[in-house]
Amino acid sequence: SNSEFEETYRKCSELMKTLPKGKAWRTEHVVQYQGFWLNPTVALKGVLLVQDHFKARATDIILSAFMKCGTTWLRSLMFATANRYRFDLSTHPLLKTGPHDCFPMLDSYIYQGDSITHLELLPSPRLFASHMALDLFPKSVLASGCKFVYICRDPKDVLISKWHFMNKLRVKELAPLTLPEAYELFCQGVSEFGPFWDHVLGYWKASLESPDKILFLKYEDMKREPSVHLKRLAEFMGQPFSMEEEKKGLVEEILKLCSFENLSNLEVNKAGIQHFSDQLVIENRHFFRKGQIGDWENHLTEEMKNRIDRITKQKLKGSGLTL
């Protein structure tokens, strides 16, 4: 029944009234909760439900990323890799259902209380995706021994990708967000699930402490050497490719199945829609734009580029991470 979630819903409405507000990209405003900016009606509720009710298992693998860093790509790669004994590549579910139907986005799936009950019924090993910062997960999740796959990306490309994406989803009553506005908000860290740099650093530091539990990937590395990183991913997931599989060319076949060119041209990704929650329904085609490194060059001035690079350098200073 829903009653066990009522306390969380009550807490959510209380918080919504008191949390600091900032300007949002898709809707009117985001609220700042435990250091991160969240959409008050979807993400905040999702985060609170995860904090209060999600029971992680040691066998769970959670794909996590800031928005627009490569969730769609990694989701399809993880699903195809984990289920490679079950499905034939020529009749693969990815060809019909699209990446976002393969496994649930934890923070929006859990959004309706009843869905948490459904999560309990999923067989192990479970795969989830999430945009939550690591610090927003309750301690019990890492303590369960579950794993995280994290992907990050050049913040300049993240900004441009997110600006395009959010304008497509932006509520009709609001004027489009201009690039200078989005740029300013991004630099200030005010952006759904942001600040970007805090999001990245949380997972980066944890990956240094527990490399067997948190795999830290970069979109650019994946683009440049996809097979190297897909093999790392499979190994991390506990399902390394065998010599025989490699000889058969399975790594390349999975990469081809999940490539931008292949996925973006499928009927399901051209015309299908994804129902994340009652308040968040997204056309699949919006998840595929260019899929390239460095599109920021077509949008940012030299001055904008220099400032964001300076922020990145300063925020990541001493962490050993470069972006």
Chain positions contacting ligand A3P, by CB under 6 A? 65, 67-73, 157, 161, 164, 258-260, 263, 287-291, 295
Q: Which two tokens stand for residue 247?
A: 């000889």
* Rounded least distance, CB 247 to ligand A3P, Å: 25
* Rounded least distance, CB 297 to ligand A3P, Å: 12
* Rounded least distance, CB 153 to ligand A3P, Å: 8
Give how far Cα 167 sits from Cα of 155, 158, 160, 172, Å.
18, 14, 11, 10
Q: Which two tokens stand for residue 113?
A: 């209380």
From the candidates 53, 131, 199, 229, give the one annotated as an active-site residue.
131
* Rounded least distance, CB 323 to ligand A3P, Å: 15
Q: Which two tokens stand for residue 136?
A: 């927003």
Q: Which two tokens stand for residue 80?
A: 């195809």
Question: How many Å apart are CA 226 and CA 252, to the nearest integer?
Answer: 9
Locus of tokens 């001055």: 303
Q: Is 275 a catalytic residue?
A: no
Question: How many Å apart are CA 311 and CA 323, to the nearest integer?
Answer: 11
- H/E stretch holding 30 reads strand 29-33
Using the minimum distance from each CB to ligand A3P, give the nearer residue, 53 or 153.
153
* Rounded least distance, CB 66 to ligand A3P, Å: 8
Using the minimum distance from each CB to ligand A3P, give the nearer residue, 116 or 234.
234
Identify which of 224, 206, 214, 211 has the alpha carbon closest to the alpha carbon of residue 154.
Answer: 224
* Rounded least distance, CB 272 to ligand A3P, Å: 14
Sheet architecture: strand order including 147-152? 127-130, 61-65, 147-152, 214-218
Report whether 165 contacts 289 (CB < 8 A).
yes
Using the minimum distance from each CB to ligand A3P, give the nearer residue, 12 or 166.
166
* Rounded least distance, CB 196 to ligand A3P, Å: 13
Using the minimum distance from each CB to ligand A3P, give the nearer residue, 117 or 178.
178
Question: How many Å apart are CA 34 and CA 226, to the nearest integer?
Answer: 35
Report whether 290 contacts 298 (CB < 8 A).
no
Partnered with residue 127 across adjacent β-strands are 61
Using the minimum distance from each CB to ligand A3P, give the nearer residue, 24 or 258.
258
Using the minimum distance from each CB to ligand A3P, give the nearer residue, 55 or 168.
168
Give how far Cα 230 sits from Cα of 37, 233, 306, Å.
31, 5, 32
Using DSSP bridges, classify how beta strands 61-65 and 36-38 pair: parallel, antiparallel or unpaired: unpaired
**Hey, is 63 helix, strand or coil?**
strand
- H/E stretch holding 280 reads strand 280-283
Using the minimum distance from each CB to ligand A3P, give the nearer residue, 45 or 131.
131
Catalytic residues: 131
